[in-house]
């Protein structure tokens, strides 16, 4: 990207702030932000938000390393679930996340994970039930293939929630992806 994704602008705010504010609006109490080498640049942007900042020392470990760092930080809290919201999806709607949480609540927390789907494709953020935390932390398959390996291992138990939110499958990985997002957000202005 050329700069930290967490600090890219989304409607006048850094991506990470947009996500924190969405979590605050949903009244999610324990918010964890996992940072890597850009931590000194990101910390000031989130200073006004109540969150636990965790440094991921395994920057080459991919997204599973960040998820594992967050889960280790939550160990003492022992939540019934954890929402993993990648920073490159600041445009996921709050109502989408609320639908995931509602599906988990309706099931009495008895489902291992809730995944949003759009156009028959699974996306993010994923709400992980506590029953899968240990597997996410220790699975060799997850180390090799990421958290999706755990989803595949429990495919018949996972709740998929169909949403009308294409952002759940729209990772922003390149400058061109980011430019497309900005164009789409601004198209109605002109």
pLDDT score at 100: 96
Alpha helices for the chain (secondary structure H):
15-25, 39-46, 63-74, 94-106, 133-138, 140-145, 148-153, 175-186
Mean pLDDT of 70-93: 94
> Taking the CB of residue 100, how many other CB atoms lie within 10 A of it?
23
Cα(58)–Cα(60) distance, integer angstroms: 5
What are the domain boundaries of the chain? Answer: 5-186
Q: How confident is the model at residue 2 (pLDDT cuts 50, 70, 90)?
A: confident
Instruction: Quote the percentage of the chain above a pLDDT of 90.
Output: 78
Q: Which two tokens stand for residue 133?
A: 């935390």
Q: Which fold has domain 5-186?
A: Spore Coat Polysaccharide Biosynthesis Protein SpsA; Chain A (3.90.550)
Mean pLDDT of 181-188: 77
pLDDT score at 34: 96
Answer whether residue 69 shows pLDDT above 90. yes
Mean pLDDT of 151-168: 95
pLDDT tens digits, one per residue of 23-65: 999 999 899 999 999 999 999 999 999 999 999 988 888 889 9
Answer whether residue 148 shows pLDDT above 60. yes
Answer whether residue 189 shows pLDDT above 80. no
Give every CB contact of residue 176 below 8 A, 6+ residues apart in sequence.
Answer: none
């Amino acid at each position: 990207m050329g700069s930290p994704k967490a600090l890219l602008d989304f409607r006048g705010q850094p991506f990470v702030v947009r996500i924190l504010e969405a979590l605050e609006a949903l009244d999610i109490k324990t918010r964890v932000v996992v940072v890597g080498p850009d931590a000194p640049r990101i910390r000031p942007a989130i200073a006004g938000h109540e969150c636990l900042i965790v440094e991921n020392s395994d920057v080459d470990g991919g997204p599973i390393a960040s998820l594992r760092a967050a889960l280790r930080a939550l160990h003492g809290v022992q939540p019934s679930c954890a929402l993993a919201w990648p920073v490159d999806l600041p445009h996921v709607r709050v109502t989408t996340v609320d639908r995931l949480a509602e599906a988990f609540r309706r099931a009495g927390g008895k489902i291992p994970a809730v995944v949003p789907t759009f156009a028959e494709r699974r996306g993010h953020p994923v709400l992980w039930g506590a029953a899968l935390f240990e597997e996410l932390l220790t699975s060799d398959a997850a180390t090799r293939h990421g958290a999706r390996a755990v989803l595949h291992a429990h495919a018949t138990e996972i709740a998929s929630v169909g949403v009308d939110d294409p952002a759940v499958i729209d990772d922003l990985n390149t400058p061109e992806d980011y430019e497309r997002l900005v164009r789409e957000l601004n198209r109605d202005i002109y």
